[in-house]
Amino acid sequence: MVSGIPHSASAPGCAVVKLGGSLITCEGPGGPDVDRDLLTARARELAACGRPLVLVHGTGAYGKPPARRYGYLDGRLPSGRAGVVAEVARDLARLELEVVDCLEAGGLKPLRLPAIQLFRASAGRASPLDLEPVRELLARGVTPVVGGNFVLDCDGFAVCSSDIMAVELALALGAASLVLATRAHGVYREHGRGEAIHGQLSDRDGDALRKIDAAGQDVSGGMLAKISHGFRAARHGIATYVVDGRVAGNLNGALDGSPLQGTRLLSGQAGG
C-alpha cells in the first residue's frame, strides 16, 4: 500500500512508538482493564527521552473479545451493523481515555486523535488521509495518540490495525525510528520451541520467516503480519524494532538504536 500523504506532513527526526494491546491491557474479573502501572512507567521513560513522539496503541482485551463475539475477525462490518460499530467504538473510546490519562501521569503531553479522522479503508485495506494535524501537534510539543479502532470503508466499516497505522504514520512523517512494543521478547526463532529470538531479521530471510507462528491469528494478524508491516518501514530507511515493552528502559534503548531485548527488522540484509 503506497502512502498518499503530501510531503508537507513530514516531521523528520520524530519517532513512532506502538504499544501492543496485549502489553497494556488485561482481562480482569470485571472485564477488560488497563495495566496502568506498566503504561505509566513506560510513559515516564518516553517523556525523559526528549524526542518528538507519536504513540499508537492496540486494543487487546477491549478489542479481541467483541471481534470474536460479533464475527468480524476479518476486520470488516457492513453498514447494516452500525449498532455493533457504535457499541464497540464506545468501549474503545474508554480505553483510549484511560491510555491518555496514564500517559499524562507519566509526564507526556498526550492528545487523542480518533483513527476515523486520520485513516480510511477500501475493500478492507486502510490508507491514511490528511495527517497534517499530527505534524502540527508535534511542532507544538504535543504527543499525538491514536488507538486501533473502526474507520470508514467504501461500503461499511473496517478495523484499522494499530500496526498498519504506526507504519503509515512513520512513513508519512519521515520518522527516524519505529518501535513496536509487545509482550514477547522479540521475534522468536521458533515459536513455541524456546525463548531464543532474532537479534536481527531481514525480509530476505525466507527460512526464518517460514518458522514464525501464523496460527491463532486475530483481527490484527498476529506477529507475522506485524513484521510484514514493519518491513515496509525498514525498506524506507526507518530504524524498525520489535521489542519487549515489559522491560524497563527497552523503549528508549530502541529509540537510541540499542534495545535491551528485541529484534531489529532489516530490508535486504542478512539477519542474525
CATH number at residue 251: 3.40.1160.10
Q: Is 192 annotated to bind ligand?
A: no
64 is in an annotated binding site: no
Task: Give the model confidence (pLDDT) of 44-102 as tens digits.
Answer: 999 999 999 999 999 999 999 999 999 999 999 999 999 999 999 999 999 999 999 99
Q: So what's the pLDDT on residue 213? A: 59
Is residue 21 part of an annotated ligand binding site?
yes
Average pLDDT over the chain reads 90
Q: Residue 17: helix, strand or coil by DSSP?
A: strand
pLDDT tens digit sequence for 112-122: 999 999 999 98
Torsion, Cα 5 97 223 152, to 10 degrees, reads: -50
Q: Is residue 195 part of a domain?
A: yes
41 inside domain: yes
Residue 272 lies in a domain: no
Q: Which residues of 7-30 are buried (b: 16+ CB within 10 A; e: fewer)?
A: eebbbeebbbbbbbbbbbbeeeee
pTM: 0.90
- Domain annotation covers residue 95: yes
Whether residue 271 is contained in a domain is answered as no
Establish whether 20 is an annotated binding residue: yes
230 is in an annotated binding site: no
Is position 162 annotated in a ligand binding site? yes
Number of domains in the chain: 1
Is 194 among the domain residues?
yes
- pLDDT per position as a tens digit, 153-209: 998 999 999 999 999 999 999 999 999 999 999 998 876 566 789 999 998 888 788
Section 238-243 average pLDDT: 98
Domain range for 65 is: 7-266
Reduce the DSSP state of residue 181 to 3 states and report it.
strand
Give the separation between CA 227 and CA 224, rounded to whole angstroms: 6
143 is in an annotated binding site: no
Q: Annotated binding residue at 202? A: no
| Residues 91-102: tens digit of each pLDDT | 999 999 999 999
Is residue 189 situated within a structural domain? yes
**22 annotated ligand binder:** yes
